[in-house]
Amino acid sequence: LNAVTSRYSGVFTNRPDLHPVLKKSGRESGERVWPFPIGKEYLEELKSDTADIAQCSPGGGGDHILAGSFLQEFVDDKCDWVHVDLSSVSRKGGLAHVPTQLTGFGVRFSLNLIIDKNIAGIAG
């Protein structure tokens, strides 16, 4: 995900109120994330002549946002969700506390988010 360099990964959620929590978990775990917008306004770019909805846009612009908006179409509106883009799972020279190319990105972030109180008690 070039929009935030390879030092961050994008996150998408149908709960914008979780953006500060997601960023905090990223900072605390050393696996930094940045929230991106999703929404119905992006679906125009995913129209298809052969399917109900296309997975991506032929133009390729904003693919990460379109992918998040695509995923949202398959989740019930009553279900809270977070998608973590794993673009930082492999980074030449390592990332944060991991010096190897395969960083294992997402494990510490997810554990911090779930176990270390950041997400507990804020379910809608």
pLDDT in tens, 77-96: 899 899 998 866 777 776 66
- The pLDDT of residue 12: 93
Look at residues 14, 32, 113, 30 and name the one whose alpha carbon lies nearest to residue 69: 14
Question: Which pLDDT belongs to residue 75?
Answer: 92
Query: What residue spans define the domains of the chain?
Result: 2-114
What are the tens digits of pLDDT across the range 29-49? 888 999 999 988 888 888 888
Show Cβ contacts of residue 80 under 8 Å, excluding neighbours closer than 6 positions. Answer: 13, 14, 15, 18, 123, 124
Q: Is 64 exposed, middle or buried (0-12, 13-18, 19+ CB in 10 A)?
A: buried
> Which pLDDT belongs to residue 88?
62
| Total length of the chain | 124
Q: What is the mean pLDDT of residues 46-56?
A: 86
What is the average per-residue pLDDT within 57-79? 85
CATH number belonging to domain 2-114:
3.40.630.10
